[in-house]
Amino acid sequence: MVGLFALLFAGSVQAHAMLVSSSITDGAHFDAFPTELVLTFSEEVGLVEGGTTLHGSNFEPIELSPTATDEVVTILLPEQGDGAYAVQWRVISADGHPISGTVRFTVGADYLGESASVDQPLPDWFDFLSQMNTGLLYLGLLAASGVVITGWFVARDATADICRVARRSMTMGLLAACVQLPLVAIAQRGEFFDSLNELMSGILALDWSLMLLPVMLLAAIVLSRYPIVFLVPLLGALAMLLLTGHTRSGDPMWLMMLSDGVHISVGAIWLGGLIVLTLGLSGRWFRSAFATPNIPVARFSALAAWSVSALAITGGIMAWRILDSWDALFQTAYGQTLLIKVGVVLLVMVIAGVNRFWLLPRTSMAWLRKLVLAELVLLIVVTGVTGRLVNLDPNVQAATSEVLYQGQVDLGKGYLVELSVISDDGEITVTAQMSDDMGMVVTPVESPVVAWSLDAQSLGPLDLELESTANGDEGAIILPVEGSWSMDISVRVDRFTELHTSLQIQTNP
């Protein structure tokens, strides 16, 4: 599968909306307050009610009313005075996934380099919960449909057991599909709802494919006593997954939808087949079909043999259309998660090869049961990773930070400062911890001040006053341009003594 990436990355199209340009550069400085912010995206986007706000240091956040025309979003800015400001925006991609960002700027010479505080995004546990629930949704749907399709192929004499296992899987999928509705509504809004009525309004505004998913699963469960009939709503629910992933905004859509459909179907067959084999080899399920275990195992091996190629080809095509380069494969959270998924799938294929070409001819049932169970567990892990992939933006770089300076600086007169300067997404955080020459922590009588100057462009000094935290004195600043900045640190250790030191800090684009 990895080899296919090399063949298919020759030229690709972005398969997820991304910000192409902004009329205001993040960290920009103005003499007068700008009148509007224009954002241009790679495809048409939708607006989120209450999703765009203006933040400033001297007022509560102001809700803005952007307008969207195709791929262009225009945000009119109410006039303000000098200060540090930030515009938080949030839109919806064609595939239903939210895209958000912040544009920070300052107005007036006195505020150059300052940064306005903005609302924190949803907590990390919410993202984790969403990814886990999506994984459970995929697991329930793929397991149910896979057990039905593969079960009738390898254990066709055990219809009652097939329906029973499928019904339990569909029940898990139904619960996950119901939980998915409020989770997606909250994710699109970017914050928790204040009331149940608001939450219901957010759910009713979701895409129709998400609303139909639990309905179809419920219909499949009700009809599960009729083996052929219930497969129709079950496959319909499976088709709804195609309309909620990144493939929906891929180009060309027909290729992405076809590839995703084949990919999901093959994954369902593989997962469902391993569930049937695991239960059958345990001796408690599918007893009539597994009276001679070699027969159903051989049938599944024949079915799985061709599916590996289909899995690799369709996975490669989707990676080609969603990611735009080799760098994206290694430098984005989406690409890194995809590599983990590929690695686990390759491990499953190795175990499957051992089962097929070594254990099966020797009829080593004890080892066969263990390795089939290992395959199943790993495929469940793959399904969980898929849940994470569905919730990740392919265009967002993996979280990285650059250490600009880390070490101890001599302030003189027996005082030292442990200094950390870290750049993260354009914001530079300074952390300082003072001590004496005996290693004892010293608390300055006044907060340390860091003055930044760029002599090459006659910028500065930009003063940053550090605030006391559990990790020492800390503060953050956005420098308007890149270059070799002079960082002057001033610390008052008592009423009569103020110590100074200076460092050169190189910031890179």
What is the CATH number for 63?
Answer: 2.60.40.1220
The tens digit of pLDDT for each residue in 12-42 reads 334 456 788 889 887 788 888 999 999 998 7
| Residue 5, domain member (yes or no) | no
- Give the per-residue pLDDT at 358: 66
Q: DSSP character for 476?
A: E
In 3D space, the residue among 343, 347, 372, 357 whose CA is nearest the CA of residue 305 turns out to be 357
Q: Quick one: which of 144, 153, 135, 138 has its CA closest to 307?
A: 153
Domain-embedded: residue 152: yes
Question: Pairing mode, if any, of strands 28-30 and 98-107?
Answer: parallel
- Integer CA distances (angstroms), 18 to 306, 398, 401, 509, in order: 36, 15, 22, 20
Model pLDDT for residues 227-253, shown as the tens digit of each residue: 677 888 888 887 777 776 655 555 666
Question: Is 186 domain-assigned?
Answer: yes
What percent of the chain shows pLDDT beyond 90? 6
Q: Considering the entire predicted model, what is its pTM?
A: 0.64
- What average pLDDT score do residues 81-99 get? 82
Taking the C-alpha atoms of residue 438 and residue 442, their distance in angstroms, rounded to an integer, is: 11
Mean pLDDT (whole number) for 430-452: 80
Residue 116's pLDDT is: 63
H or E stretch at 507: strand 498-507
pLDDT > 70 in the chain, percent: 81
pLDDT in tens, 362-397: 556 677 777 778 888 888 888 888 878 777 766 655
pLDDT at 505: 81
| Residue 406 shares a structural domain with residue 262 | no
Domain that holds residue 176: 124-391
Number of domains the chain is built from: 3
**Residue type for position 143:** A
Looking at 58, 89, 111, which one is the last position of a domain?
Answer: 111
Could you read off the pLDDT of 142-191 as tens digits, one per residue? 888 888 888 777 776 677 778 888 889 899 989 999 998 999 888 888 88
Length of the chain as a residue count: 509
Please check whether residues 149 and 75 belong to one and the same domain. Answer: no
Q: Looking at the domain assignment, is residue 397 inside a domain?
A: no
Closest listed residue to residue 267, CA positions, set 113, 135, 109: 135
Q: Which residues of 112-151 are buried (b: 16+ CB within 10 A; e: fewer)?
A: bbbbbebeeebeeeebeebbbbbbbbbbbbbbbbbbbbbb
Buried b (16+ CB within 10 A) or exposed e, 241-269: bbbbbbbbbbeeeebbbebbbbbbbbbbb
Tell me the residue type at 439: G
Residues 195 and 155 in one domain: yes
User: 287 with 329, same domain?
Assistant: yes
375 and 230 in a single domain? The answer is: yes
* CATH number of 502's domain: 2.60.40.1930
Confidence of residue 5 (pLDDT cuts 50, 70, 90): very low
Tokens (6 digits) for 112: 């150059």
